[in-house]
Amino acid sequence: MTRIVFMGTPDFAVPPLKALAARADFEICRVITQPDRPKGRGRKPTPPPVKTAALDLGLTVSQPEKLNTDAMVDELISLAPDYHVVAAYGQILSQRILDIPVKYPLNIHASLLPRYRGAAPIQAAIRNRDEKSGVTTMVMAKELDAGDILLVKDTPIHPRDTARDLHDRLAKIGAGLIVNTIDQLEAGRLTPTSQDPENATYAPMLKKEDGRIDWTLSHLDVVAHVHAMNPWPGAFTDLSGRRIKLFAARAGKDEATDPPGTVCAMDDAGIHVAAGRGTVIIEKLMGKSGKHLSAKEFLRGHSLALSDRFE
């Protein structure tokens, strides 16, 4: 029986957890996840998705505020795991924690390493208009996402993909890849390969302000930004002091003659806005009520005129 301590917190980690739990020859001896956090208008403590999934699977869950304590080290040692499997857990593991598994501490990372180490690789791949993304399994090292690579699987990024679309696809890929990784390690068919640090790039954690649209960019870059920021932090722009969030857009075929950010047309396709090069057609955005609206629905309830300019 292969013993596994699973560490993860958000939705991305749920498919890998379920895939590992489905194997009769794997024993998940503990699930480690972040504490419940206040959410919503009522600020009610809400369990992370991994906790909910783990309890549904009948697994034992721990939620330490801090992982790297003597007590947690002793607890993990007592479990005698063959592997740690980490998927978007949200805390940095100390070397003492990394040294506990009999075989390897493993990580599931949502990029084609060494490209996009860090917390926001999915958004970075879409914002930079990459043709593909993927998932890498690796042996964890103390330096962030710098461990030796085990397996990689890629997937194309489609022109209409949002960060949510790509996230969900990569989570499913990660589920299959981590099972395959452990199977191959157990069979002695897999040798870790070191990363080339010269090719490493970084995708740091996003902040709310990162959602702001820069209309001086090309129409292709603005569209990529809108899709990369969906669902969080959300792409936004300002009009006459009012903040407006954008959820879907596409590149127009017309060349822009107006200053960047200027509304240059409104039709059944959407709201056409001049960018630094070309035009952007806004298809979905947020209305006064906070609801997601099509451009046509938005225009029925909001005054917008040609030559109005998004800031």
Q: 154: which strand partners?
A: 134
**Contact (Cβ atoms closer than 8 angstroms) between residue 182 and residue 2:** yes
Cβ-in-10-Å burial (0-12, 13-18, 19+) of 261 comes to buried
- Tell me, yes or no, whether 163 and 21 share the same domain: yes
Q: At 279, which CATH number?
A: 3.10.25.10
- Tell me, yes or no, whether 172 and 212 share the same domain: no
The residue segments making up the domain with residue 119 are 2-199
- Tell me, yes or no, whether 271 and 235 share the same domain: yes
Q: What is the pTM of this model?
A: 0.95
- Could you tell me if residue 309 is inside a domain? no
Q: Of 142, 174, 199, which residue is a domain's last?
A: 199
- Could you tell me if residue 34 is inside a domain? yes
Report which secondary-structure segment, H or E, holds 37.
strand 37-39
CA distance 128 to 105: 31
Residue 253 has pLDDT above 90, yes or no: no
- Could you tell me if residue 307 is inside a domain? no
How many C-beta atoms surround the C-beta of residue 44 within 10 A?
Answer: 10
Cβ-in-10-Å burial (0-12, 13-18, 19+) of 198 comes to exposed
Residue 272's pLDDT is 96
Label residue 180 by pLDDT band (50, 70, 90): very high
Label residue 59 by pLDDT band (50, 70, 90): very high
pLDDT digits (tens, 9 = 90+) for 26-51: 999 999 999 999 987 778 899 999 99
- Could you tell me if residue 145 is inside a domain? yes
The domain tally of the chain equals: 2
pLDDT digits (tens, 9 = 90+) for 95-123: 999 999 999 999 999 999 999 999 999 99
